[in-house]
Chains A and B, each alone.
Chain A
Amino acid sequence: MAVKTFVLDGQFISAREGQTLLEVARESGVRVPTLCHLDGLGEVGACRLCLVEVNGRLMPACLTRVAEEMDVRTQSDRLRRYRKQIVELLFAERNHVCSVCVANGDCELQDLAMQLGVDHVRYPPQEPECAVDLSHDRYGIDHNRCVLCTRCVRVCDEIEGAHTWDVAGRGTNARVITDLNQPWGDASTCTSCGKCVMACPTGALFHRGSSVSESAHDRETLHALIVAREEKRWLV
């Protein structure tokens, strides 16, 4: 397989052909913020947090494959500004109240805010009407905490295969739904596997009966399942 050499934050790096900038950055210990990315799932390039400057142009690191003579910058004043704004927009978009959230302390949105130095939200809260659905016997969804990363949709489609979740509506009215927008407990395609809960970055999807700060996203099990499926290796 061909090797590509390019510049990453001023350093020459060699990478395998076909790798994405995000993969190479992580291998090199360079941290690029992400939210809609989850190892093993198809990329969508939707959150725009992983935007990096490639030869001066903004490109999503998760989808951009390495090429010769790329000059990549993962940090700049501009990128820092944009990343903060995106996180603030997310906090203002729905009703995120960390203090009463099951994922308090185990939340990628919180982690991003801390890493990026977001200490206040400059945008007024949109305060949309968002429901909580506890009809499923094992899990629940609180749309107030959803960031529409669609990781639940992708894990259910690509790894479990049931495709119970999808996105309905458009723009700020978009919501993740099960089957024909039925209560989750009535969604006959759901296998109750819980992968969507493992994949969710925030406290939107959770185990019923867990309380504030009690969520522990089981990424390891999810990762092991993906590796088993794709590489036929079982990490026990």
Chain B
Amino acid sequence: MDLKELDALAVAEQRDRAAFEVRVCTAAGCLSCGSKSLIAALETTLAGRGLADRVRVRGVGCMRLCCEGPLVSIDASAGESTRGSRLFGKVDAAQAPEIVGAIEQGPGSSNGLQVIDPDGPFFAHQQSVVLEHCGLIEPERIESAIAMGGYRSLHRALHDLNPGEVVEQVTRSGLRGRGGAGYPTGLKWATVAKMPPGRKYVVCNADEGDPGAFMDRSILESDPHRVLEGMAIAAYAVGADQGFLYVRGEYPLAIARLDTAIRQANRVGLLGSAIFDSTLNFRVDLRIGAGAFVCGEETALIHSIEGLRGTPRPRPPYPAESGLWGHPTLINNVETFANIPVILREGADWFARIGTERSKGTKVFALAGNVRRSGIVEVPMGVSLREIVDEIGGGPPGGTTVKAVQTGGPSGGCIPAELLDTPVDYESLKALGSIMGSGGMVVMGQHVDMVGVARYFMKFCMDESCGKCVPCRAGTAQLYRLLDRIERGEASRDDLGTLEELCDLVRHTSLCGLGQSAPNPVLSTLRFFRHEYESRVTDPGESPSSAVPAESR
């Protein structure tokens, strides 16, 4: 494959557009609402009305507003571009005739379908960088990705830049790891690149284990080639020839789409030997996780790829120096890799102009919970939580108010409603005792019990603890018991002291990030919602039942 062939594929695909294109979301959420049968029904209806050559139905990826799935967009084409899109939600297969009718009747008609304004606040406040092609391309056809520019950045890297220049672009962009830790990506790449030449690996961490997070899933199901391209560019930059994409086993659709994408890329020579007639040989193998949150931790992930129990090991040495089978290994998150092609296309300086001083670019969030509009959201770093929750999310459902917003999953914390003007960037969230995390953002209404939330996350950490180190294994179990008793009103004031002492131990002495961040939800809720703990504990000498309000006795 050379650039001419790539362009030819792109042009052929771009020309192959019908007068009307109907895009139906086939990411996991919408699929579970029946979008596959909807597609079949649309094709049948169109064939029946003799419209099959004027209207094309395409199964595309995530169209963001997951709570209104299945989502359907009707695009009228003008040559090779789109002129006007109409968006419909909660479209049932039985409504296929109405969709076809809406095409025939033109803009303004809705036939009882649920119309969604594609320029409404949910979409208008977002900035699509990582997700620029999600919902537009068909994830199961490489031609679709190539038509929208896929693999051109890889060509540019291989033919216009040397590996050092690629690393320099990534460093100058200011991109930081999107898996949660926010480590400067360029620095990580530089470290691996500087290791002596020899066997090196590139690993994509797609073990999105945070409950409440589905950003990586959406990217993998909607634009898998983007991630593969990012990995290939990384391989060129650091000198690796073998890649692993570690996907959690709970994502069968993402696995299937990735498998298809890798095969297609192999077949046309965009992965494998002498890519674009360069010296880069890079092959990618899928590795499937088997249900262990701890395998999202870098060293545990490495052990899992090596076929071992997924227990972490102390760092240093860091994977960049000694990773898979002792070789230098670059590990980055899905979203981090998905940023690479656009950074190379638009330039590091363009990217660095988005976001804040220390948090560049955009971030993809999974907005869910007690909020009117939930789904996938991409915003520039620095946007306030309030804008995301109220403007994009539409605020909590009628009549209720927000109590807190949880970010960072089991490693994160709760930001109370009074602080919703906090900008979303790495430093601001950390200062409030939470973290950016991988992007899970759960809105919590007034009915949510914050001690219950702390207990919920501690149970998760206890169940997912690998069991290797004492503070995490035994500490999370004791913390869970304490939180459970506090929640039930059976704890004393002394127990609160023990709780805080244990949090300190687990945070500072655990072997890996799982244990070290397990106390975060507790510490965060103690900081902002201490009264919920205090009102439930008894002073020494009192009987436990006196902590329970009189009305509920």
Contacts and interface: CB of A to CB of B under 8 A. Distances in A.
Contacts of A147: 470
Classify the secondary structure of B's interface with A: helix
Given A60-B314, A85-B501, A90-B474, A170 B509 contact: no
Chain A's interface size range is 20 to 34
B469 A47 contact: yes
B466 A170 contact: yes
B87 interface: no
A17 B23 CA distance: 63
A66 to B, nearest CB: 13
Contacts of A173: 467
A89 B476 CA distance: 10
Interface in B458-485: 462-471, 473-478, 481
A45 interface: yes
Contact of A46 (B309, B470, B475): B470
B475 A44 contact: no
Nearest to A85: B505
Nearest to A94: B474
B510 interface: yes
B463 A85 contact: no
B483 to A, nearest CB: 13
A233 interface: no
Contacts of A46: 468-470, 511
B509 A89 contact: no
Interface in B428-482: 462-471, 473-478, 481
Interface in A21-60: 44-49, 51, 58, 60
Contact of B465 (A51, A85, A170): A170
Given A51-B509, A170-B467, A171-B466, A92 B478 contact: yes
Contacts of A85: 471, 501-502, 505
A169 interface: yes
Contacts of B463: 171
A90 B477 contact: no
Interface string B305-342: 00001000110000000000000000000000000000
Contacts of B511: 45-46, 48
Contacts of A167: 309, 467
15 contacts: A45-B469, A46-B470, A47-B470, A48-B509, A58-B508, A89-B474, A92-B478, A93-B473, A122-B498, A148-B467, A148-B468, A167-B467, A170-B292, A170-B464, A172-B474
Given A46-B469, A93-B477, A170-B465, 5 more contacts: A48-B511, A93-B474, A148-B468, A171-B473, A172-B462
Please name the 10 residue pairs, one residue from A and one from B, whose CB atoms are nearest each other, closest first.
Answer: A174-B467, A89-B474, A171-B465, A45-B314, A93-B474, A171-B467, A48-B509, A85-B505, A46-B468, A46-B469
